[in-house]
Copies of this chain bind each other. A is one copy, B any other.
Amino acid sequence: MSEKLQQLKERLGEVNDLARASDILSWDQQVNMPAHGNQARGQQMATLNKIAQEKFIADEVGRLIADLKQEYDGADPDSDEDALIRVASRNYDKAICVPPEFVSEQALVSAKAFEAWVEARSKSDFSIFRPHLEKVVELVQKYVSFFPPGNHPYDTLLDKYEPGMKTEEVKAIFDGLRPKQVKLLKAIAASKQVKADFLHKKYNEKKLVDFGVGVITKFGYDWSRGRQDKAPHPFQTTFSVDDVRITTRYEEDNPLATMFSTLHESGHAMYEQGSNPAYERTPLSGGTSLAVHESQSRMWENLVGRSLPFWEHFYPSFKKTFPAQLDGVSLKTFYKAINKVEPSFIRVNADEATYNMHIMLRLELEIGMVEGTIAVKDLPEIWNAKMEEYLGVTPPDDARGVLQDIHWSYGAIGYFSTYALGNLVSAQLWEKIRKDIRDLDDQISRGNFDGLLAWLRKNIHQYGHKYDPQVLVQKVTGSRITPEPYVRYLTKKYGEIYGL
């Protein structure tokens, strides 16, 4: 390795350490921190983020990158060195547009907004969150203004989470998807409904958590390099390839979500645990984009965890764990129930057929907020109107409406569409996996996930950020992100369940 590359890696390593440290403080804030700790914590994270930003945009980093671009000409797309320089260069070009004071201000505003959001959601009172969200949106608009005007101001935000993705391309994908999902939903609504009342009985929290732990242990989540805790919102976070954590929560109304969210987060975590260790402390470590990340979590949660073969293996022991709740419930009845399609309020608990509709709603609101055509004060009303339009239901309160998600509280606008894109990628990968592993269903029904995880490790996980998301998806499946495989998947699955 050239001396300059070594120097660049050392500098990027420091920046990475600071960012990971901030992530640890954030995890602690959500999992452990006592009630009054928030103000100081916000200040500490603001300092770490500001210094990370200062260190990253230092002139010397720019000089090293420029020199290295001469030295490594990028001719070999499979070279780790070329990939590192390409990703570092792109990140650098973006970062120098943003003043460190802004990063610090945004962290402080986020810390307060998060606190307000927690209170607002618990009291279901949007007015508590509103002034904070207004400030958050103002800062997001300011962030966009730092960049040269692109095709759409929202492109700048999308690019943070899905490098290279454009607002127009997402809209086109969603426009292709929407009519087909609406058609499917109508057909389902017109058919005989499935029974699922037994899912809403009381389930013991600890037993559910233990069951989820048992499942992801079989999946291959490595506990010697991770842990699970309780938090108000389920999430996955990475402190290093050797410390990849997940959280879960218990919901009275939807007890099985405790287990399914564990499956979901384990998908994110196994992606991070599978990243090439040689990429540690560089921008190549971890997942390449949120959509590809979400393809992993949704795959383990839904394509695996809500499939019939999966429950052929696990249902006997699940039923033994909850004999009273599942008395007289057959495997088929249980399988249909956990896949029941029902327009509902909460995105994270939405079934596979309605989920993307929640995302489309958020995308429209975000674009409106960024463009300035939707005011924060009008959000609850617009949210509820769109829920009625898309899903035919109106949230009874803001906690189950506009306040349900954490994302906006910490300034993550531009993030949501990656969830729907992730669904699409998961199905796209799944079609390829089924070709490569002919007896996949059979393996899953025997509780054997080794082949699946090995395939993902080899084709997706190991590459970290090396390939851009669309490049990776193309490389593995032969096509850019497209809605067709997901539509085929939904049509087949729900066709069988609802006898369409």
Contacts and interface: CB of A to CB of B under 8 A. Distances in A.
Interface of A: 13-14, 17-18, 20-22, 24-25, 28, 32-37, 39-41, 43-44, 46-48, 51, 223-227, 229, 239-243, 245, 280-281
Contacts of A227: 32, 34
A41 B34 CA distance: 23
Contact of A242 (B17, B36, B239): B36
Interface centre among A13, A21, A44 (most CB of B within 10 A): A44
Interface centre among A13, A37, A39, A245 (most CB of B within 10 A): A37
Nearest to A240: B40
B48 A18 contact: yes
Given A36-B243, A243-B33, A243-B36, A44 B21 contact: yes
Contacts of A243: 33-34, 36-37, 40-41
B226 A51 contact: no
Contacts of A36: 224-225, 242-243
A51 B280 CA distance: 20
Nearest to A226: B34
A14 B240 contact: no
Contacts of A13: 43, 47
B17 A48 contact: yes
Interface centre among A22, A24, A241 (most CB of B within 10 A): A24
6 contacts: A18-B47, A24-B44, A40-B239, A40-B240, A40-B241, A41-B243
Interface centre among A13, A21, A39, A46 (most CB of B within 10 A): A21
Nearest to A35: B224
A443 to B, nearest CB: 28
A35 to B, nearest CB: 5
Given A34-B223, A34-B224, A37-B239, A21 B17 contact: no
A10 to B, nearest CB: 10
B242 A14 contact: no
B37 A242 contact: yes
Contacts of A28: 24, 28
A239 B229 CA distance: 21
Given A20-B44, A35-B224, 7 more contacts: A18-B47, A18-B51, A21-B22, A21-B25, A28-B28, A37-B225, A43-B281
Contacts of A280: 40
A69 B461 CA distance: 57
B242 A39 contact: yes
A34 to B, nearest CB: 5
B240 A41 contact: yes
Contact of A47 (B14, B40, B43): B14
A455 to B, nearest CB: 24
A223 to B, nearest CB: 7
Nearest to A40: B240
A438 B241 CA distance: 60
Nearest to A241: B40
Contacts of A229: 32
A243 B18 CA distance: 21
Interface centre among A17, A46, A226, A227 (most CB of B within 10 A): A17
Nearest to A281: B43
Contacts of A240: 37, 39-41, 44
A33 B28 CA distance: 12
Contacts of A239: 37, 40-41, 44
Contacts of A48: 17-18, 21
Contacts of A281: 40, 43
A182 B107 CA distance: 58
A377 B202 CA distance: 61
Nearest first, the 10 closest Cβ-Cβ pairs linking A and B are A40-B240, A37-B243, A17-B47, A36-B242, A17-B44, A35-B224, A36-B225, A37-B242, A36-B224, A14-B47
Contacts of A34: 223-227, 242-243, 245
A51 B243 CA distance: 23
Interface centre among A48, A229, A280 (most CB of B within 10 A): A48
Contacts of A22: 21
